[in-house]
Amino acid sequence: MYKFKPILKSMLWGGEKIIPYKRIVSDQKQVGESWELSGVKGNESVVAEGPEAGTTLPELIARHGAALLGRANFERFGEEFPLLIKFIDARQDLSIQVHPNDKLAWERHQSKGKTEMWYVVAADEGAHLRSGFAKQVTPAEYAASVEDNTITDLLTDYAIHPGDVFFLPAGRVHSIGAGAFIAEIQQTSDITYRIYDFNRRDANGNTRELHTELAKEAIDYTVLPDYRTHYTPAPNNEVELVSCPYFTTSLLDLTEARTLDLSTLDSFLVAICIEGAGTLRDNSGETVAVHQGETVLIPASTSQMHFTPDGSMKILTSCIR
């Protein structure tokens, strides 16, 4: 099992919640994102402790291969870790954006697309986010709404609360709103088309680059009645939240010990502690203490995983089935 050093990203819109939430020491300000587990080039995670401390995630995969990723994942992705795990703290509204699908991302950038999901860890009073179109629009109407600053009127705006889940397939227009604190699980891709940024300026008076035209072809204009992901909480049981070709994510809300049988799972398992604390122990007896804000990578060779809370603990698990 592996813990990694967080990669902290200061952002124009970032807040001050991530550092205390993760219980780490840092003078960095306006930390909008903590990249918990990343194989993105130039932002590779580094093992934080244990005999392989200092090893990057790609080096770890090169060393352990299918034993770490799973046989099918290793054949499919090679030494590229297929998921990017983040915490996001929005002090201001993030830009309205969209991500291309695999086909378009490869044609334009020789990269994978970006399907993702959000789990709301915490939310200030009045916190919100936007996901999907509220009504049918044409590409021309979309472009005109950006030009005249009315794009927000076309999107579905949700008040959010801890435990809310949103699945965001590539092509869905979205924006994280002020006051949202979110765990994000996504494909390994850093391609974002920024559609609208509320005409904000940085400390030097500059606006950020927009990709309004690039986004036009990437957007899925389908309108749905509800863009939230609904699930039924089941304390001390594994509750599946999202299952797609890119990841399967479940929630463990524990007040008592729970064992997961991983013997038939041909995949790594990512365990993201979003609340509380406890201990993780695998079938070989290796144990790792974990608390809120920490993420653990469990190798595919693990056949059983025991989760023991210290009172209570909430864990998001993610793998590729």
Q: Name the residues annotated as catalytic.
A: 194
Give Cα 306 distance to the centre of its chain. 24
- Phi first, then psi, for residue 61 (nearest 5°) are -65, -40
Place of tokens 């729970």: 258
Question: For 233-258, b where at least 16 C-beta lie within 10 A, e where not — what string?
Answer: eeeeeeeebbeeebbbbbbbbbeeeb
3-state secondary structure of 272: strand
Residues near 229 by beta carbon (within 8 Å), at least 6 away in sequence: 117, 165, 166, 167, 241, 242
* E strand spans, the chain: 2-3, 7-15, 31-37, 83-89, 96-98, 116-123, 128-133, 155-159, 165-168, 174-176, 180-187, 193-196, 228-229, 238-243, 248-254, 258-261, 269-282, 287-291, 295-298, 304-319
Which residues face 183 on adjacent strands? 87, 119
Residues near 90 by beta carbon (within 8 Å), at least 6 away in sequence: 13, 14, 15, 32, 176, 177, 178, 179, 180, 181, 182
